[in-house]
Structure 1
Amino acid sequence: MIAVMTGAETEDDIPFGERKTVTDFCYLLDKSKQLFNGLRDLPQYGHKQWQSYFGRTFDVYTKLWKFQQQHRQVLDTRYGLKRWQIGEVASKIGQLYYHYYLRTSETSYLNEAFSFYSAIRQRSYYYQVNREDRPELVVKKLRYYARYIVVCLLLNKMDLVKILVKELSEEIEDYTQRFNTEDQLEWNLVLQEVASFVEADPVVLLDDNNSVTVVSYRLQEGGVPPLEQGMVVGQLVLADALIVGNSNSQVKFSELTIDMFRMLQTLEREPANLATQTSKQGILEPSEKPAKRENPHKYLLYKPTFSQLFTFLSASFKELPANSVLLVYLSATGVFPSIHSDYEGPFDFGGVLTNSNRDVVNGEATQKRNQSQKEMHCLHPGDLLPFTRKPLFIIVDSTNSTSYKNFTNMFGQPLVCLLSPKVYPKTVQDPSQRGSLFTLFLYSPLLAFLSVCGLSSVRRELWHSAQEFLHKVHRDIGQMIAQSPTIDQAFLQFFGDEFLRLLLIRFVFCSAALRLHKVFREAQSFPESYPELPKQDTVENGVLQRHILKMATLLDVQNMFWDDSVEAY
């Protein structure tokens, strides 16, 4: 316990009530740090093991935050409480909310994280840190900025992101000039990563004053074509999603690639109050989360090893509720087989890369294998076969995505794989620069359509007109899928869930658009699926092709699409 005393004052001169206030505060502060540090030891997978621990941690931080508010004067006088210490408590509460959001997918907790991070900046809690000759305190401030930026990116507060990046840049410059540190390059890299993230969208939306307008790509109310009366679809619900990033993408920030970021938002609904909620500085108890879960649980895995990925898959599979779906999104570098065997099964076509940095065999580093062995650091289609005992929806964005065509549905459960093109035309933007075009289509079909047509900006009025027309196109695609007499039933079994229905519809739109685009001529440049979709009923349907040509005409890029084989409007 620390008490601030002046002159001849002794600890006995301090009133008992004030001494007890300081003692209670120190207890709560130590307990909060202990619980917060303990979060690192918790498994990141599963839904139940961590919830009670988070509850206890929230409870202590709730008491600590309210306690320092109620007894600020005594703590200032007798404890010597500094504003950066209050900021540190607020920052940890923000971290708690952010991680609780990641575990639950409830954006209300993301808003709470934003509330506390905003309060730190508005109240200048970290302002005096730069006056102290303690580089570790400045690092706390820099990390706070980085976390705040991530939250703002997830909330699409791009104007604020740009302000925060400027402030962070100034803080890093001051930090590196004042202290001879070894992490200068690391912090400059953070700035570069944020800048790449901000500039990742290939098309900007302009208003009448040529100012950039920011739109949200989360699922909007009424954004999914409804099921038509009489449609026979399954009643499965998307419960869990593993979002895996292990590609060579240069666009990443805080162990989150741009493709992971886009898929994360694709699988979330836009809450009604997301854009208008203000900082209320309250503590939202974990028990207060909405009774009805709106979004699937999501796990973000950046460059996991095979063992880590398999552990998360197993835990999610184990806890998957009845009539629920597990989605696995893989954005990863392709791994190709070095040899071809006479028998070609689900382990003979390669797969996607997993991280080898932390995998060991029998306590020793991995040794070079002979040519008859399979690639160890690779997720083969066969590795996922045990998980096909329950409904499984797979998205593979990789140069070897088609290895996942070689599935065998051994257990008769619904199984669908959506597979990216293996190669893109040379004139198309390098995926490592701004993210994958395939994932972009699943995230925002209009953004991807504009990008593939070479448009870097569009007026807001035209954007809304195109979005309105695209909604009609999506509705027609939904009817095509549901009414196809030859489509595999697995697609229809997933069609009852709004997220999966939207992904399937956007996949068909992507496939149809690229097939008509003049630049995309190789079969390897088209998306594929397992099971295969009936082309005449979906991706090569004449009605859909005419829709795409009308969309191109609306955007004045009709010269980029073939129209010889379809009727003109």
Structure 2
Amino acid sequence: MGRMNPLEDHERKVIIEFCHLLEKSKQLFNGLRELPQYGHKQWHSYFGRTFDVYTKLWKFQQQHRAILDSKYGLKRWQIGEIASKIGQLYYHFYLRTSETAYLNEAFSFYYAIRGRCYYTKACKEDKCELMVKKLRYYARFIVVCLLLKKIKLVRELIKELDRQIIEYGNTYDPDDQIEWTVVVDEVKAFIHAEPVVTVIHPDNYPVILSHRLSSITTPPVERSPQMTLSLQEVLIIGSSSQQVKFSELTMDMFRMLQTLEREPSGEIQHMYDDSPRQRFISTPSAPTSKGYNIENGPRRDNPHKYLLFKPSPSQVLVYLASGCNDLPPNGALLLYISADGQIVQPSKHPEDVGYDIGGLITTSKHDIYRECNKDSKTPPSSKYKELQCLHPGDLYPFTRRPLFIIIDSDNSYVFQHIPRHFGQPLVILMSPLELPSPFHDRRQQGSLFTLFLHSPLTAFSYCCDIHNLSLVHWDRAQIYIDTFMAEASQLVTRSRIDIMYIAFMGDDFLRLLLLRFIFCEVTLRMHRAFRARTHLTRAAPPLPDDLLEHPALVHIVMDLAAHLQVRAHFHDPSTAGPPSTKE
């Protein structure tokens, strides 16, 4: 055979290089599954190398598209698959770093895949697995859109996914069609449940509100030398059996995730553009192995977060240990748990309050019952503790570092006794054990307690049976919330409050959570429906009654109620002050 002419030789080299980059990118991408999900330094360099290869691959296919189309037979769905994996990389990098800029980059790629119809002909290929990739792309795109509150687009994607699932079933008669139908039903239920209160624009359409932290929503504080801590690590755990969920994200997890993020700064606002065509065409701006600071990671505007859906207690302890280990000096860790309680028969004199008074079911209840039935020699009533429950005593070792704990459960109070063995700052905020009967049928919309921490005005409206508000009324009501936060911040720093609270007040996120917790407790104490002690929150160390019943805070709540025309829901402080304790 004679030597190939120069053009053919060049084409051959292009195809060989493309196949090499494609295979290397797949190997690195698959290797991400082998990385530990906790810790920082192990994965920084690996992510950088993976982004390097995908950047080269993306540029290469752009530069040599004509040859790859005509000589290699590159199909549009293959380009879409590369773009989809770049979107996945950005999404996972967002989860790892908590930087919303990467979430917007993921959106840009997913949006452009849809706009350019890269997967349009996927169903015409005689490959079932290709259709599954298309369905997975839709599911991932929906998750990203939910996190960015692009609800109109989510509704469009649901309709498209619905059609794709029907076509998938008609073409291949697969075993997993029902599972995909469940995915669609979950996301439909999720977007139906999420807007507890609908805010209406003057032009009569619902306003999509962001509840991420911004310079406008950050409450002020009088700085003091004791405010030394900065929130660096967050563990968000969700396992409530009654809430809607989507893609291993319960409603409470979804809300807390956004509460602990800042709005993107000005330099990346363009990523919100609904037509990110130019960004997609250009080389993806990714953290690379050379340009990324492997040792220190990204600048920490947001704390690093771990999301755990129905983890075993052992998994919780591993992630907690990793988070504590990664804390820098003066760093603090936030543990948030939304879970059903494991409630045991009360004992007048428990031997060990860390283990004898119950705990939380972080995994599914089904796992607990299965574990109990596995060994009939060890019935639940024996002297042994439940293996699949997280007990307050499990958290004792982690109080070696500054720890801020939020427990949202019907057994939350059992965590109030955690001791300070190591003298480090420790604050525990606990939800009510139960809600008044009118609220029992709305549990799938998420917890009222977490809703107060996420959006105080939404929770306040919900308590007063307000389901719709005009944008003008919402904005005016929000002024009362902001006023309350500023006033409460002053009172906390000036009152006789435990010094542990002051240590956490210097961090924007922890200060916001604490002040919203105070707003929640002040509101519930005054609300006529919340009559029992179990309807109220608790905190350890206890917050002083003279703070929670301060006239300035009470009057702001009453003014807010008057503005929303719901004063009848509250005890009138002019006739009798709200009771300090309710039995």
Normalized against structure 2, the TM-score is what? 0.91
* One-letter amino acid matched to 1:513: T
1:334 is aligned to 2:341: yes
Give yes or no for the alignment of 1:25 onto 2:36: no
RMSD: 2.3
Q: Letter of the aligned partner of 2:214 in structure 1?
A: Q
Are the counterparts in 2 of residues 233 and 493 from structure 1 also a CA contact under 8 Å? Answer: yes
User: For 2:127 and 2:389, how far apart are their aligned partners in 1?
Assistant: 45
Q: In the alignment, residue 203 of structure 1 is paired with which amino acid? A: V
Amino acid at match of 2:38: Y
User: Which of 105, 109, 112 pairs up with 2:102?
Assistant: 109
The structure where helix makes up a greater share of residues is: 2
Q: Which of these residues, 114, 130, 141, is aligned with residue 134 of structure 2?
A: 141
2:549 equivalent to 1:556:
no
Separation in structure 1 between the aligned mates of residue 330 and residue 60 of structure 2, nearest angstrom? 45
Q: Could you tell me how far 1:222 is from its partner in structure 2? A: 3.0
1:488 aligns with 2:495: no
Partner of 2:463: 452
Q: Distance in 2 between matches of 1:27 and 1:455?
A: 60
Contact 2:201–2:470 (8 Å) recurs in 1: yes
SS in structure 1 opposite 2:406?
A: strand
State the Cα distance separating 1:337 from its structure 2 match: 2.3
Structure 1 counterpart of 2:529: 519
Which residue number corresponds to residue 201 of structure 1?
A: 195
Residue pairs, 1:153-552, within 5 angstroms? 153-199=146-192, 200-228=194-222, 231=224, 233-273=226-266, 276-277=270-271, 278=273, 279=276, 280-281=279-280, 282-286=283-287, 287=291, 292-338=299-345, 340=347, 342-355=350-363, 368-369=378-379, 370-428=381-439, 430=441, 432-485=443-496, 487-537=497-547, 539-552=548-561
Q: Distance in 2 between matches of 1:258 and 1:80?
A: 45
Structure 1 residues 497-506 or 216-225, which shifts more? Answer: 216-225
SS at match of 2:262: coil
SS at match of 2:311: coil
For 1:459 and 1:553, how far apart are their aligned partners in 2?
16
- How far has the Cα of 1:160 moved from its partner? 1.1
Query: 1:11: Cα distance to partner?
Result: 11
Tell me how far 1:567 sits from its aligned partner: 8.0
User: CA separation in 2, counterparts of 1:245 and 1:466?
Assistant: 30
Partner amino acid for 1:324? G
Pairs within 5 Å for 1:74-93: 74-93=67-86
| Deviation, structure 1 residue 316 | 1.0
Q: What amino acid does structure 1 have at the position aligned with 2:315?
A: Q
The verdict on how the C-alpha distance between 1:497 and 1:32 changes in structure 2, with shifts beyond 3 A counting, is same
Deviations 1:377-411 (A, max 9, x none): 11111100000011000000001000101211111
What letter is aligned with 1:347? Y
Q: Per-residue deviation at 1:288?
A: 5.5
With 487-496 and 270-279 compared, the bigger mean Cα shift is at 270-279
- How far the C-alpha of 1:372 sits from its partner, in A, is 1.3
Percent of aligned positions that are identical: 50
Is the Cα contact below 8 Å between 2:237 and 2:362 reproduced in 1? no
Task: Give me the whole-angstrom Cα distance separating, in 2, the residues matched to 1:39 and 1:228.
Answer: 44
What are structure 1's unaligned runs of at least 5 residues? 1-8
- Structure 2: tracts of 5 or more residues without a match: 578-583
Corresponding residue SS for 1:427: helix
1:241 match: secondary structure: strand
Match of 1:396, SS? strand
Aligned with 1:121: secondary structure? helix
Residues 232, 492 of structure 1: 8 Å contact kept: no
What is the distance in 2 between the residues matched to 1:185 and 1:10? 57
Total equivalences in the alignment: 556
Q: Which one is further off, 322-331 or 404-413? A: 404-413
Q: Tell me which amino acid in the other structure corresponds to 1:139.
A: V
Please name the residue that 2:29 is paired with: 36
Deviation of the 1:513 alpha carbon:
0.4
In the alignment, the residues of structure 2 paired with residue 47 and residue 566 of structure 1 have an alpha-carbon distance, to the nearest angstrom, of 57
The CA deviation string for residues 139-193 of structure 1, in whole angstroms up to 9 with x for no partner, is: 1111101100111111111111111111111111222222211112211111111
Matching residue's letter, 2:256: M
- Between 1:497-506 and 1:166-175, the stretch displaced more is 166-175
Quick one: structure 1 residues 554 and 276, their matched pair in 2 at CA, closer, same or farther if it must change by over 3 Å? farther
Q: Residue type matched to 2:361 in 1? A: L
TM-score (norm 1): 0.93
Deviates more, 1:525-534 or 1:194-203: 194-203
The one-letter amino acid of 1:194's match is V
Alpha-carbon contact 1:546-1:567 (below 8 Å) kept: no
Q: Secondary structure at the match of 2:305?
A: strand
Deviates more, 1:329-338 or 1:9-18: 9-18
Q: Which residue of 2 aligns with 1:4?
A: none
Contact 2:244 2:250 in 1 (8 A): yes
Give the direction of change, closer, same or farther, for the CA distance of 1:26–1:566 in structure 2 (3 Å limit): farther
Matched residues in 2 for 1:136 and 1:208: separation? 47
Change in Cα spacing, 1:48 to 1:249, as seen in structure 2 (3 Å) is: farther
Q: Are residues 50 and 79 of structure 1, via their aligned partners in 2, closer, same or farther at CA, if it must alter by over 3 Å?
A: same
Aligned residue identity for 1:283: P
1:216 aligned counterpart, secondary structure: coil
Tell me, yes or no, if the aligned pair for 1:228 and 1:479 is still in contact at 8 Å: yes
When residues 209 and 192 of structure 1 are mapped into structure 2, their CA distance, relative to the original with a 3 A threshold, is: same
Task: For residue 322 of structure 1, report the CA deviation from its aligned partner.
Answer: 0.7
1:506 to partner: Cα distance:
0.0
